[in-house]
A and B are shown apart, each in its own frame.
Chain A
């Protein structure tokens, strides 16, 4: 059966079971039920969320009427369509809230969804500031929700340009065969692309807001700046108020698996250094390198654009190196590695996670820690200097300005 037909049929059956599920109470879902989802933000990224299987789309929301119309057409038949995300979150028919808005909204929406008893499937980067990320973790825990961040390289079979799955890398690293501490290098030469076309324009002529867009609600908690088409939709990633450029877009994809590989899911680096041209306060530019150091000396080095060297190992340790395509220079490493256990199984199906209440492989805790790395980099770029970070108390050390970037005060009436 074609997926679309399957969804149609499944939809008809499921329609009769909506009411009983909510009678059973929050958090308990009969395993036979098909879960439902609502998508906030039905631009091109959000519309892609209809394809994440195992659930049925019942509601969409967007502040752009054109996007909302496209969202309504994602499935045959009628679904709820909202302008205000609060309405989608409050919709009793929605089990899972998918958040595919620009990142400056992720925090508020995740927390609101958790409060309403919804499970959350959120786009990367998890949040635009470290403070908002922490708030999401607290809310998900407090309301006992399941959370999944929408990047997947820590558990799928192939890892972006690296030509290898993450699992054997994790196994090799945790075996200790490479020694410790490790240095992980990420650049175009390891097959990654920072998408530096997400740069902003330093001067934007104010333009009239198009009729279909509720610009005030699009901005939401972000500082008010006059409308220009380049700020929104396909190009918003080029502005600090909403995202972090190529680092914001791709950072969590590349860094999250590294956190997993290094076993750093419960901590953060203690230092971030940047080498970049001076950044504009509104429009994001490019950078040459960002280096993160953990308290045990492990490092993550991101090379931007054409920088970095082609023959650099992806993971370098005192006893051995791993290059792109899993070329390892430890003699007979396959045999040596066999003495060590496989990485532990993870819950990689969010539906299973929701039904069993076992946290998802990339849950709020782990997502927060990898998003924190992105946001540490963003802060260091904005301030153009080395920053020291306290991974327990989640603040920068002896740097008041950096700590003011932990939280971006929100435009009234928004709070998180």
Chain B
């Protein structure tokens, strides 16, 4: 609540300076023990708190700590952490009095400690923290042979600091003007040295503005000489200065008959700032062939499209080398205007220049949209002779337009011979993932000329890091199914190792026994397991142990060590188990009605109906090639024989392409995690698969569409805890901890335990890789016999939050509790769905240090319920930060109106039992069996409230019951209510 917040602020502001207070009257020994139990601090907040706690023990506490050094290995390490932390922290807060306290404790420790190691350690701390006050003591220690060296070091550091020694900056740079005037007079050998000095000075770009207008002409003159070293050094400096004048001088080098000049000119001009293109083009006529080539390469490097004419002209040069250079430069200088010329060049080209001309056309098309590129090339294909058509396939591929891809695919299937090859090459050149389907299809055909290359390209495309790991795993699984050679299988396994996918780990695990693939498989298993600490359990353990045996490479010992470390840290728990064996329908049964109807059926009746349902299942559901397939027409789901409570699940699914394709996964007998053809926009399917389709008050759509192309495999990871469901589709989070509503009876929460079903929805669907890991389940809270008799009703039993509404994000269901994890500084409110007037409200709560919350009663679901209703305070009021709060702010108070009594709260971290008895104006609060508040609110507010504020909602007749968040973490459980007449 806000009032407390302002008090808190005041307290916190003073906090840094009042460290000497010992928070809760713990003894020095207790404080030290508490800190040492937590050391080393894991974050800065904990670190500061620990040091403040230690500092609060004063000199004697610090001395006590120092005396722990060298008492046992464990104590020594802890004391070292603590004392070092104290030292570094104290030097950071810069409070002289505190620093002196610490130093004095250390100086005393030097007297009282007996062993040299401990003393040496203390001296090393003094080196950081001590000032003049330690000098005399340290000086004495210089005579102690064992301590002489550390003492000297500490003294050196202290003396360097007092008085503050101003370090010298690095030596200044020599004066540039002097260097240039020296350059003029210098002999040739000396000139090089001076130029190198200038170059070194100019290496720092900040110094280059020291160059004035006279520098460039002076350097240009040196270029014209014939001393190679001077030329090189001068050219470097001109490059550093840059600009039109320097470029003009350097360009002359390209016009030189001397090859070395040309080479130098090219090298420096590449790195010279400014428009080099117009500076060098004038020399293209007069330069030697080497010079011409250099100019062409420079034009190419700067993509000088304004100079394309000069490049085209050199296509007719006499020298074949110049021609080649011009061909190579074309792609960097052409524009759309050049297309007609380029088409002509391409169609008349010799075989060796085909590629550069194709590249040039691709470059000229680049500024156009993908569609326009395709249309332009398609138009040219129509215009030109059939025999020239295939020259354009690779240009089509580069367009990036999907129609172009379709065109290439069509050409590949309809053409023959060289034209077919050209179409295939173009298909391989296609950059995006869109070609993957066609490549896989070619890969499957077992056509020696194409299959292997197509699959290679497929593997390369689907390994792109832009795909989620889970999607890569799906596509790599496709590839593995058809891979013929070990080389390809190795490539696939290598990529599988990068997917971080649990199914990928199992996939790689299948190859550990294959002698020619086991090294790659082992690497993949190791990479995935070690990178994903969440993958725990028997499967992972077994595979890792096997992997450790198999690994054979120069780093294997190190890897084995890493695996051993990983296994040691892995909790011993159940893992995922496969619930589909790939051979038959063991473990599965047919669907009988729904869970509610089944519950009402007599066992004999159910058994009879089940037999029929199983018959129907065997008609509809088949196992084909290791896949579980629904090929029926009806709506008869296949169901697990086993029932599941909380679980995690992996399943791959694939819809047979049809417009109406539809399926889903029922969780605990309840529809459903949706699967459908996203093209069904009339049904809203563009939202994507994975959503909790039948939800009405909670989100039913996934947060994004993450489906793969219709007909491609997809993968779900589903987690169900309590009534909450999380779904990842193809590695993307699509449902984030959303409540699954009970479709069969919306007045009750989803069943705590039921079967899992794969939905049949009249269209063909495939499933594979179905793994389930059961999670430890919370047993639902049950009313005592007494409460049952009295007519209590459960509002929260630890398995679902069906009775609650409001902020269901910050208030999470966790380990059978409602756990508050505020995402904003004031964590929002959680309310009962229903309204209550007079009642007995019982619940348990567990605080974290200084936690603040409250129970709003007879409250509207908006506004500040402390005023527009009433708030029964929840507060860790024993915490020192609250030592100055008003009595009406204490735990259990009707906030601002009636003060509660102290002393019934259990220590932080333990569970408290509370009862709020609200009968008309009479409010009674009982905490852990003790009545801490009992009174009449109307009476209490008669002459104005204690806090002198308006409480217009104090006398509300009825409303919701709410937990009123205050930005702190705490937990609630076992919540029940009884109405009063």
Contacts and interface: CB of A to CB of B under 8 A. Distances in A.
Are the chains A and B members of one assembly?
A: yes
Nearest to B272: A341
Contacts of A5: none
A202 B77 contact: yes
B124 interface: yes
Interface in B264-312: 267-268, 270-274, 276, 301-303
B338 to A, nearest CB: 15
A224 B145 CA distance: 12
A385 B270 contact: no
A402 to B, nearest CB: 8
B161 A223 contact: no
B206 A342 contact: no
Interface centre among A278, A365, A412 (most CB of B within 10 A): A278
Contacts of B302: 338-339
Contact of A412 (B117, B149, B239): B149
A266 B169 CA distance: 12
Contact of B206 (A202, A266, A338, A409): A266
B239 A344 contact: yes
Contacts of A344: 239-240, 271
B175 to A, nearest CB: 16
Contacts, number: 150
B170 A281 contact: no
A52 interface: no
A224 B236 CA distance: 50
A357 B189 CA distance: 13
A187 interface: no
Contacts of B167: 134, 393-395, 406
A239 to B, nearest CB: 13
A277 B270 contact: no
B76 A278 contact: no
Contacts of A278: 39-42, 47, 81, 85
Contacts of B156: 409
B273 A401 contact: no
Contact of A392 (B44, B74, B169, B203): B169
Given A265-B204, A280-B77, A344-B239, A223 B150 contact: yes
A242 to B, nearest CB: 15
Contacts of B120: 223-224
B80 interface: yes
A338 B303 contact: yes
Contacts of B47: 278, 384
Contact of A277 (B41, B129, B157, B240): B41
B332 interface: yes
A342 B271 contact: yes
Contacts of B509: none
Contacts of B206: 266
Contact of A137 (B148, B170, B301): B170
Contact of A401 (B74, B117, B129, B268): B129
B445 to A, nearest CB: 32
A343 interface: yes
A344 B148 CA distance: 52
B467 to A, nearest CB: 13
Interface string A388-416: 00001111001111011111111110000
Given A277-B42, A341-B270, A344-B239, A138 B171 contact: yes
B892 interface: no
B41 A341 contact: no
Interface string B213-256: 00000000000000000000000100110100000000000000
B128 A404 contact: yes
A385 B94 CA distance: 13
A356 B121 CA distance: 50
Contacts of A223: 120, 124, 149-150, 153
Interface string A307-342: 000000000000000001100000010010011111
Given A338-B302, A338-B303, A384 B88 contact: yes
Interface centre among A202, A279, A344 (most CB of B within 10 A): A344
A376 B272 CA distance: 35
A229 B301 CA distance: 56
A357 B195 CA distance: 12
A385 B303 contact: no
A383 B149 contact: no
Given A224-B149, A357-B196, A359-B200, A281 B271 contact: no
Interface string B41-82: 111100100000000000000000000000001101100110
B688 to A, nearest CB: 21
Contacts of B465: 324-325
Contacts of A54: none
B76 A203 contact: yes
A4 interface: no
Nearest to A174: B205
A266 B84 contact: no
B89 interface: yes
Contacts of A202: 77, 80-81
Contacts of A399: 91-92
B124 A281 contact: yes
A340 B196 CA distance: 25
B768 to A, nearest CB: 28
A205 B77 CA distance: 12
Interface string B189-201: 0000100100110
A339 B303 contact: yes
Interface string B784-826: 0000000000000000000000000000000000000000000
A340 B160 CA distance: 48
Interface centre among B39, B148, B169 (most CB of A within 10 A): B169
A383 B121 CA distance: 16
A249 to B, nearest CB: 15
B171 A141 contact: yes
Contact of A263 (B128, B148, B205): B205
B166 interface: yes
Contacts of A324: 465
B354 interface: no
Contacts of B81: 202, 278, 280-281
B152 interface: yes
A138 B170 contact: yes
Interface centre among A263, A340, A342, A412 (most CB of B within 10 A): A342
Contact of B88 (A134, A335, A385, A410): A385
A282 interface: yes
Contacts of A205: 73
Contacts of A332: 366
Contact of A394 (B157, B169, B239): B169
Interface of A: 134, 137-138, 141, 202-203, 205, 223-224, 226, 263, 265-266, 275, 277-282, 285, 324-325, 332, 335, 338-345, 356-359, 365, 382-385, 392-395, 398-401, 403-412
Given A359-B203, A401-B88, A407-B160, 9 more contacts: A265-B203, A278-B39, A341-B274, A357-B196, A404-B127, A409-B152, A409-B154, A411-B153, A412-B152
